[in-house]
């Protein structure tokens, strides 16, 4: 397992970038504009991690800017922790066996979401590309929120 990023939702991308980059000193590593989903993702890393983060070898902060205004009350601005895992199906099986609910099953062989006992969302991503869809995951419905 490898720690990838922490996601934080931001209401004003320019103000957030001014804080994280201009004041705090983080470096922008990658930006993704998703017109269909109406959001922008900006990945930031500490200066000493920037080169390694660009090669996805160091953890980053992901700023998520949703183009449609939202009120992030109750901690919704903190999104999730993300980890690459060697085998997403085995990881989800182990978690389920331990009593963890798979909120977003890995139907696509690539991504799943679970929650910690304290309600923190954890994103699991298949390392090295998606696995072929497989049961019981492919037909498993979402449970709760993530």
Q: What is the pLDDT of residues 19-51, one digit of tens each?
A: 899 887 899 999 999 999 999 999 999 999 999
- List where CATH 3.10.180.10 sits in the chain: 2-75
Mean pLDDT of 49-74: 90
Task: Kindly give the pairing relationship between strand 102-104 and strand 27-34.
Answer: unpaired
To the query of whether residue 123 is one of the catalytic residues in this protein, the response is: yes
**pLDDT value for 25:** 85
Beta bridge partners of 139: none
Fold classification of 2-75 (topology level): 2,3-Dihydroxybiphenyl 1,2-Dioxygenase; domain 1 (3.10.180)
Sheet with 102-104: strands ordered across = 27-34, 39-45, 60-66, 2-10, 78-85, 121-126, 111-115, 102-104
33, 48, 90, 123: which is the annotated catalytic residue? Answer: 123
Whole-prediction pTM: 0.70
Q: Please give the DSSP secondary-structure letter assigned to residue 21.
A: I
Sign of CA dihedral 10, 32, 105, 128: negative
């Amino acid at each position: 397992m490898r720690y990838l990023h922490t996601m934080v939702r931001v209401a004003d991308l320019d103000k957030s970038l001014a804080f994280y980059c201009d004041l705090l000193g983080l470096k922008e590593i990658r930006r993704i504009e998703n017109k269909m989903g109406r959001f922008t993702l900006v990945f930031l890393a500490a200066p000493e991690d920037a080169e390694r983060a660009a090669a996805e070898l160091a953890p980053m902060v992901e700023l998520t800017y949703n183009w449609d205004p939202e009120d992030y009350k109750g901690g919704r601005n903190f999104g999730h922790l993300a980890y690459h895992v060697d085998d997403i199906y085995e990881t989800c099986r182990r978690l389920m066996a331990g009593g963890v609910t798979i909120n977003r099953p890995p139907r696509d062989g690539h991504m799943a979401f679970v929650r910690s006992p304290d309600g923190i969302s954890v994103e699991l991503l298949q390392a090295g590309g998606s696995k072929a869809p497989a049961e019981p995951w492919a037909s498993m419905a979402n449970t709760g929120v993530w």
